[in-house]
Amino acid sequence: MAYKICEIKRLMDYLSQVFDTVRLVDPMDGRILLPQEGILQPDKYCFSIWEDNTRCETCISKTAMETGERKVKFEFTDEATYQVIACPVQIEQRDGSQYYCTMEIVFTVKDALLVGARGQHNFNMNIVTYQKKLYQDSLTKVFNRRYFDERIFCDNARCVLSDMVVFVMVDLKKFKLINDTYGHSTGDWVLQRTAKVMRACVGNEDSVIRIGGDEFLLILNDSTAQDAEKVIERINRKMAQEVIYDPEKQLCAVANFGIASTTRFKNTSACINALLKEADEKMFLDKNKD
Q: What pLDDT shows up at residue 185?
A: 95
- The answer to whether residue 231 is domain-embedded is yes
Model confidence over 5-22: pLDDT tens digits? Answer: 888 888 888 888 888 889
Check whether residue 247 and residue 277 sit in a common domain: yes
**Domain final position from 87, 103, 134:** 134
Q: 261: closest CA among 210, 236, 227?
A: 227
**Residue 117 pLDDT greater than 90, yes or no:** no
Mean pLDDT of the chain: 84
- The answer to whether residue 140 is domain-embedded is no
- The answer to whether residue 159 is domain-embedded is yes
- The answer to whether residue 139 is domain-embedded is no
- Quick one: average pLDDT of 201-228? 95
- The answer to whether residue 18 is domain-embedded is yes
Check whether residue 184 and residue 92 sit in a common domain: no
Work out the angle between the directed axes of helices 175-182 and 184-201 (0-180°, nearest 10): 140
Share of the chain above pLDDT 70, in %: 81
Domain count, the chain: 2
Burial of 156 (0-12, 13-18, 19+ CB in 10 A): middle
Cα(146)–Cα(129) distance, rounded to whole angstroms?
16
Check whether residue 30 and residue 156 sit in a common domain: no
Model confidence over 81-113: pLDDT tens digits? Answer: 788 888 888 888 777 788 888 999 988 876 544
- The answer to whether residue 251 is domain-embedded is yes
- The answer to whether residue 128 is domain-embedded is yes
Q: At 129, which CATH number?
A: 3.30.450
**Domain final position from 83, 105, 134:** 134
- Quick one: average pLDDT of 174-199? 95
B/e letters for 193-226, b = 16+ CB within 10 Å, e = fewer, are bbbbbbbebbeebbbbbbbeebbbbbbbbbbbee
Residue 46 makes CB contacts below 8 A (sequence gap 6+) with 23, 25, 30, 31, 32, 55, 61, 104
Check whether residue 251 and residue 181 sit in a common domain: yes
46 or 86, which is more confident? 86
Q: What pLDDT shows up at residue 67?
A: 80
Q: Which of 33-47, 129-143, 165-179, 183-197 has the lowest mean pLDDT?
A: 33-47
Check whether residue 179 and residue 268 sit in a common domain: yes
Cα(167)–Cα(193) distance, rounded to whole angstroms?
21
Q: 230: closest CA among 283, 281, 166?
A: 166
113 or 42, which is more confident? 42
Model confidence over 53-85: pLDDT tens digits? Answer: 666 666 888 888 888 888 888 777 666 778 888
Check whether residue 213 and residue 265 sit in a common domain: yes
Range(s) of the domain holding residue 31 = 2-134
Q: What pLDDT shows up at residue 128?
A: 53
Check whether residue 152 and residue 172 sit in a common domain: yes
**Domain final position from 105, 134, 163:** 134
Check whether residue 151 and residue 246 sit in a common domain: yes
Q: At 259, which CATH number?
A: 3.30.70.270
Check whether residue 211 and residue 173 sit in a common domain: yes
